[in-house]
Every structure is written in structure tokens, then in C-alpha cells.
Amino acid sequence: MAYFITETCNGCTSCARLCPAGAIQGEKKNRHVIDLGLCIECGACGRICPQSALQDPTGRAVQSVKKQFWAKPVFNHKTCMACGICINACPAGCLKPGEPSRKDKNAYPELADPGACLSCGFCADECPVEAVTLEAPPEAMAKAG
């Protein structure tokens, strides 16, 4: 299963530029197409699409969200095992092992490149100990009231 682009698409290309798997093809100003074999169902296209032209794999229309409100991963170091599953799961490559502290030599993951985060939640999905949660950036929420 994969995401699907409906005829509402106006070919603005923003989804194709964002797609981490390079699964979206199409000419500018023409309806784009998602390659079933390449789509990894991260949903970034749906979140970014100004036309809300995307359907998720279950056929529901996806609402677009302003990028500043996209939820980002937050790591709970109390339960985190520093096993690297989330870092490997991230299709955007925006997670990195952080710096170890003097007390604890483990390199816990951190969001090294927030701008690249797609808010796909794969890190939280794959974490076996539920040490990753997705939370909307508090400063953006505060601004928006």
C-alpha cells in the first residue's frame, strides 16, 4: 500500500522535493504520481501538500499542516537504551548520536537537524521501549496561542 495523489494536485512539486524515498514523479504544473514500490508511507507529502491532494493508504484524505507545527521527536533518556534503532529508522537522516556525558558514556540520540525532520514518527514506531514521543514544538504552539 502507498499514499495516493488525487486530481486536486496542481503540480506544485513541493511533495516531490520533500519525499525522502524519491517516490514521487511528475512534471511541474501537472498531476504527480507516487511509485507504489518506493513509497515508505511516511506521509510527508500529505502534510506538506497545500491542496490537501493526498490520500493515505486507507483511502482517507490527509490534512496538510503548517511546517512549524509538525510534531518532532523528543527522547526520554531514562528509558532510552542508546541502541540506535531510531537513528536507523529515520528516512530523513535528521537524528544523530549525541555527545556522551561525563557520567554516562552512552551516546543517546538527538534531533540534530530539526529542519529536515518529516514528522513521520518512524523513530517512535520502531523504538521498542517507547522512549521516543512526537510532540509539537512548544514555541510554535505558544506563538499560535
Residues making contact with other proteins (CB under 8 A): 1-2, 20-22, 36-38, 40-41, 81-85, 88, 90-93, 97, 100, 105-107, 122, 125-126, 128-130
- The amino acid occupying position 46 is G
Query: By C-beta, is 50 or 57 nearer to other proteins?
Result: 57
Looking at the Cβ atoms of 68 and 106, the one nearer to other proteins is 106
Q: Shortest Cβ distance from residue 12 to other proteins (Å)?
A: 21
Q: Which is nearer to other proteins, 68 or 88 (CB)?
A: 88
CB 73 within 8 A of CB 112: no
C-alpha cell at 68: 512549524
**Smallest separation, CB 84 to other proteins (Å):** 5
Distance separating alpha carbons of residues 13 and 23, to the nearest angstrom:
12
3-state secondary structure 58-125: CCCECCCCCHHHCCEEEECCCCCCCCCHHHHHCCCCCEEECCCCCCCCCCCEEECCHHHCCCCCHHHH
CB of 16 to other proteins, least distance (A): 13
Residue 111 Cβ vs other proteins, minimum distance, rounded to whole Å:
14
Task: Return the number of the residue (36 or 61) whose C-beta is nearest other proteins.
Answer: 36
